[in-house]
Structures are given as structure tokens and as C-alpha cells.
Amino acid sequence: MSAHQRGTELDLSWISKIQVNQPAVLRRAEQIQARRPVKKEWQAAWLLKAVTFIDLTTLSGDDTSSNIQRLCYKAKYPIREDLLKALNMHDKGITTAAVCVYPARVCDAVKALKAAGCDIPVASVATGFPAGQTHLKTRLEEIRLAVEDGASEIDVVINRTLVLTGQWEALYDEIRQFRKACGEAHLKTILATGELGTLTNVYKASMIAMMAGSDFIKTSTGKETVNATFPVAIVMLRAIRDFFWKTGNKVGFKPAGGIRSAKDSLAWLSLIKEELGDEWLKPELFRIGASTLLVDIERQIYHHVTGRYAAYHDLPMS
């Protein structure tokens, strides 16, 4: 990943007069979803590209070192070798972008990836994920411990209360402290947009998170009732674009939660391409947080290569 995004001073005049035009955003979201997906060779190529943006994630209460090990193996070998050979892509080093786990499982992931001889980064959720309702001191310590254990990316979750009550200075200060606690690790800030009430709040929270030095802004924890949606994404992407125009700083975007089908992943790639351009279509600036998406992508590639759909046992998850 590139150097950190340093952020800017807090400037509330940027966001004080903002009002998001909801009907226009919803129209744009419908347009994206009505688009016909690319076909055949083009589709296979885009699906392989989508694999390289996935933060392969497991955030379950029953995570063990052995399922983390399997997840890391799958991150290194996301698509069956014979399928890649058929597409002449077996020597292109296709892996997922990162592996994302709870702080207590970072050591397991670092060890498994090292044993597999690959340098895929380990991302860890932190700061009282998913609710973000623990004491600030505990949340900061959680970041430091995950970094100490070898996480090179930290997905923090904001305290939604600060957004819902309009405490923008407090939100900025808190994310600033997260940034500092990350040290050299990259900071991905989860806005939990399904709990922010309005699209205007989503825009404001996005802007504050970027001013405070987030390297990425992320839609959701995946644990809310509403996760990554296109209307929310459009608002966040426009905020990223505005921030880039004003500061020259590029901030990454990560939708997460509910992205399960290959078709969905193609719609997300197309949205990024149209809203931010090709330069954002790289793992340094775009990720998809997902646990089951890879299964469907591999299934579609299997179908493209063989002309039939795989039986469940043909493509074990990990």
C-alpha cells in the first residue's frame, strides 16, 4: 500500500451547508443496478480483477486457528489452479487483497501467511467492533495490540452517537487518535452507514473521517441490518471525489456486508470506474469486504471455463 493519507485540519465550513439530494442519488443507484453485466471473456477478466480487491474476512465467534489457516490458504490460492491455467492466468500471482480477522486472531493469520510464503496483508477490526460502544482507552489499546501482533491494516468503527448528535469535533478528535494508534498500519474507518440516519450524515461522516486521516472509508461492519447499498456508496464516493479535488489526497473506498454474488461485485467495480475513474481500481484504493463472495466468483469462472456449474464439493471454500 502507498504512504498514509495525512488528513487536514478540521474545517466544519466544508460540511455545514451540505444537503444531499436523495431522489437524485436514488435515481443514480437504480441506473447502476439496471446495467447489463459484461459477458464471456470480459466477464471472466473482470471477475479475476474483483478477486484482487477482496478483503477475505472471517468475523465469527467460533473462529479458530485452523479455520484462519484455511482462510489464509484460500487468500493465497483464491481460484483453482486448473481454472487459471485454462485462462492463461496461472502465473499472474492472483491473490486476495488482504485477510481480515478479529484482533485475537491476528497472530494466527500472520503465522499462516508466513508459512504459506506470501506477503498478503492482515487487516484487523478494532475499536469495540461492531458497536464501537466501549471506552475510548480500550478502543485505542485494541488498535495498538493488533498492530503489535502484526496487523498492517486496521478497520476501526466509529462511535455512531457522535454522528447522530452532530458532535463533529469529537468525531474528528477520536479518529485522529485512532490514526495515531495505528502507527505505520493503514487506517480504514467503518462508518456503519445503516445506522447514521440520513445520507447527509453519511456525507458529513465521510468527510470528517477523511479530514482526520483515514486511508479508506468503509460502508459497514457487515453486522448492521442494512449494510453496503448503492445510494450510500454514491454519497461516499462523491465525498471522496470532493476531498480529492480540494486536497489532492486520494482516499480508498471499501463496501462491506451483503456482497455475495459475482454479479454484485461487477456492479461495484463499474460504480468505482464511473464515479472515480480507473486510477481507483486498484487494491491501494478499493477493497470489497466479503466472506462468501469468492465462492460465487470461483463458481462463475468454473462455468466460464467448463460450460457447466460446479457441484458443491468441486470448489471447497477453504
Active-site positions? Answer: 218, 254
Three-class SS state of 227: coil
Return all residues near 212 (Cβ < 8 A) that are at least 6 apart. Answer: 7, 10, 171, 172, 173, 175, 176, 178, 179, 189
* Cα 127 to the center of its chain, rounded Å: 16
Q: Are 266 and 27 in contact (CB under 8 A)?
A: no
* Cα 173 to the center of its chain, rounded Å: 23
CA distances from 245 to 3, 250, 276 (A): 19, 9, 11
Helix (H) or strand (E) holding 189: strand 186-190
Q: Are 169 and 139 in contact (CB under 8 A)?
A: no
Q: Are 258 and 217 in contact (CB under 8 A)?
A: no
Rounded to whole angstroms, the Cα distance separating 151 from 93 reads: 22
